[in-house]
Structure 1
């Protein structure tokens, strides 16, 4: 079931960078994955724009969306960089803090009860994780270090038949950073994943074999 106009409106009103057509593709993948009854997991939450879509799919299926973010902003969101938003800086500590805005986003969308928000760094959380998930959405830091750690940390937790979704995949370096593209290629070259769909920079892959 596609998102309702209210959910789409909440998505468009939320701070973030994902365009609507990619969001619809994410929601479609999340809806399919949620039918397994397994949690849907997002790495890189920012202010919760994409979380709305995962949570809505989880709500419809009676499962849960889990988000993982340290909420201090990725490298390109720091002062002096292209995607910096000064309204998200905590005036007390002088650092980015997207957690309050994220919580307001979920409240406005009426989806707080369908999300578990983990505040921490992705590799640390992945090392302690024990539950299989039906979907892994990687949209965290875009350096090779961070993208690789997210892929290596979370791909092994994806259940057979589950979906790996990677955002900001740009084959042409002129269009964007290459780290997400490199983990996308790595997933395909591993033989453990097959491609399901391409929607601009959003790639959906299905786990068809063990390994990562």
Structure 2
């Protein structure tokens, strides 16, 4: 999703900052699909190395099958079902892996099921090493064509409502400003007319006074 891609990009732009976000869960038949799996270190400044392993349990099955391994900056496909269809899509050029995502090429309906991502991390301190691990589960559903979630539909509706609301507000503001300018113009004309009449009346009075004096 756009949200996932944005958060992933943000994590890279922030000089190594790490943000854990959930993976997408709906894949489309015949297309590629990113299985997102992120496990952040609690302390970014601590040196570390990590390996990532993936398992898959197809819908209707009861056991996980080992499908992919990533260690020492190299990925290995471990299951014939995914032969030439899996690619590393996580942290690049580092053994300190925090993004363990993989990419499935040419998705099929048989890829529907639960995926398990396992991080095995070793933290390196000045006097000792500490080993820790993390597991993520992602349930994937494969569909014939892309469907839009209710959240996406509501978001688009709200966007159009906001645009229409903004346009109406601009129209109201324009009408208000036009009326205000028109009223100010009419007031100025009335003031000028009154001033003109006053000057004309004064001139008449002066002319009458001169005539009487003569």
Normalised by the length of structure 2, the TM-score is 0.23
Computing the radius of gyration over CA atoms, which structure comes out larger, 1 or 2? Answer: 2
TM-score relative to the length of structure 1: 0.23
